[in-house]
Amino acid sequence: MSKIKFGTGGFRAVIGEEFNKENVQKICQAMANIMKAKNFKKEICIGYDYRFMSENFAVWCAEVFAGNDVKVELFDCATSTPVVMHATKLKENDFGLMVTASHNPYIYNGIKAFVKEGKDASAAETGEIEREMDKVVEIRSVDFNEAFGNMIVHANYMESYINNIVKLLDIESAAEQLNIVYDAKCGSTVEEIDMLSQKIGNSNYEIINNKRDAFFGFEVPAPSANNIAKLTETVKKNKADIGFALDADGDRLAVVDEEGNYIDNNYLLAIAYYFFVKYCGKKGGSVKNVATSNLLNAVTEKLGNICYEVPVGFKYVSAALIENNAVVGGESSGGLAVDGHIWGKDSLLAIAICIKAMSVMKKPFSQILKEVKDFVGGYEKVIFDKQYSYTKQQKEFIDKVIFEDRLTPEHRYDLADVAYQDYVKVYYKNGNWSLIRFSGTEPILRIFVEADSQDECNAMIKDWEALLNI
């Protein structure tokens, strides 16, 4: 059996292979051991999504914590990851846990671990869990029916979570006149969408893909440009003002404007920062990961602040947000966070920010994006990414080429820098860049590029493909 590893978004594996009852309970036993050794609060909130058997795995997790004298608040229905993070923060617990594989294909499930303040567990903290798992020789658990009502109780923090968003952004009645379409991707956010709509006075909305389907219609439950055809079609048919697609556990987002155009998530982050500073008077810089467009850099610097760049993984974004007192932080994958809410990416928060911006700026979303780009002199760079599956032999070859030999394609522009971490990023003096990394949550290789045209993006991608024989 291979060693259980936490990636950028928790532990994820194929159901029935590494994701099984034994491994999941071993993770929980390790967390319980750490709680005891460090005298942590003996209480934990456990949530789960609509993936295959997620509710069963959540019960098996609860049984282990209860068997270790940790009181469990188990959600009474499927929920989103941000709600469980909110519950962890609200209850001032040292640990929280969510059964989900987020946007990964239906054959996967996973565990996301949270720490105090509702943050994603850091690499050091997940490393500690991994080391503790190696020491586990006994799983202490108690039967759910025996523990229920005492060490295990049902709970639900959805309304508290929604109320916090509404209060933070002051958006009561902000969407009364809007016509909105949501794509829930057969995930666990439908009840939260309904609740948010009610709280902000919006009754003119439609939710597509709103029924549980553990196979997600045999599509990847990710809100990406190539996975929103039905949302785009419904926005046009309904003559809606805006459309939102969420991933299966509610921490990623895609936006379609009133014309049916996909608004790249890179631009969404820049819009949020611009709105908060320019229209709401917020002060401070921004945070993005290394795979995110330089549009945020341009907007942040034009407003006299610093854009901080961090590795991929929202734990790095949240840490930089806190350390630098930044206004907003996020990723190109569609997640963002702000102070006053949870320190994790959150699609409902991002939706609320979009609605608030439309209400305050009194513009269609396409014009809001235009205003942001015009603010920095008309940002025209194109960001593009491509992903690849690989064999074990291919991965060994790629690792050698880029990390051991430190080879990069021949440079098309004047070189500014090359950064090495769990990725390689090549920076050019003209603002173009390319990045290559293995996903931390699924077996794929990703190449990201940003350049002055799509043709240049394609050429940079081909350069990497030629170097790596992919």
Is 221 domain-assigned? yes
Q: Are residues 307 and 325 in the same domain?
A: yes
pLDDT tens-digit readout, 346-356:
999 999 999 99
Determine the Cα–Cα distance for residues 307 and 300; give it in Å rounded to an integer: 6
User: Is residue 99 within a helix (H) or strand (E), and if so which, with residue range?
Assistant: strand 95-99
pLDDT tens-digit readout, 288-318:
999 999 999 999 999 999 999 999 988 899 9
Region label for 53, one of left (φ > 0), alpha (ψ between -120 and 50) or beta (otherwise): left
Burial 308-330 (b: 16+ CB within 10 A, else e): bbbbbbbbbbbbbbbebebbbbb
CATH of the domain at 333: 3.40.120.10
Q: Are residues 325 and 424 in the same domain?
A: no
According to DSSP, the β-strands at 108-115 and 119-120 are: antiparallel
**Amino acid of residue 193:** I
Is 230 domain-assigned? yes
Distances in Å between the Cα of 354 and the Cα atoms of 244, 274, 322, 362 are: 10, 12, 23, 12
Q: Are residues 335 and 231 in the same domain?
A: yes
pLDDT tens-digit readout, 397-414:
999 999 999 999 999 999
Q: Are residues 205 and 173 in the same domain?
A: yes
Q: Which domain holds residue 421?
A: 382-468
Look at residues 103, 130, 156 and tell me which one is the last residue of a structural domain: 156
The answer to whether 448 and 382 have CB atoms below 8 angstroms apart is: no
Sheet containing 415-420: give its strands across. Answer: 382-388, 445-451, 433-438, 423-428, 415-420
Q: Are residues 361 and 236 in the same domain?
A: yes
Is 435 domain-assigned? yes
Q: Are residues 93 and 194 in the same domain?
A: no
Is 6 domain-assigned? no
Determine the Cα–Cα distance for residues 320 and 155; give it in Å rounded to an integer: 32
CA 323 to chain centre: 20
Determine the Cα–Cα distance for residues 348 and 468; give it in Å rounded to an integer: 39
| pTM score of the predicted model | 0.93
pLDDT tens-digit readout, 176-216:
889 999 999 999 999 999 999 999 999 999 999 999 999 99
Q: Are residues 165 and 149 in the same domain?
A: no
pLDDT tens-digit readout, 84-121:
999 999 999 999 999 999 999 999 999 999 999 999 99
3-state secondary structure of 82: helix
Q: Are residues 101 and 189 in the same domain?
A: no
Beta bridge partners of 437: 423, 446
Q: Are residues 143 and 185 in the same domain?
A: no
Q: How many domains in the chain?
A: 3
pLDDT value, residue 176: 80
CATH of the domain at 417: 3.30.310.50
Q: Are residues 321 and 201 in the same domain?
A: yes
Is 116 domain-assigned? yes
Is 106 domain-assigned? yes
Is 4 domain-assigned? no
Is 141 domain-assigned? yes
- Is 1's pLDDT higher than 60? no
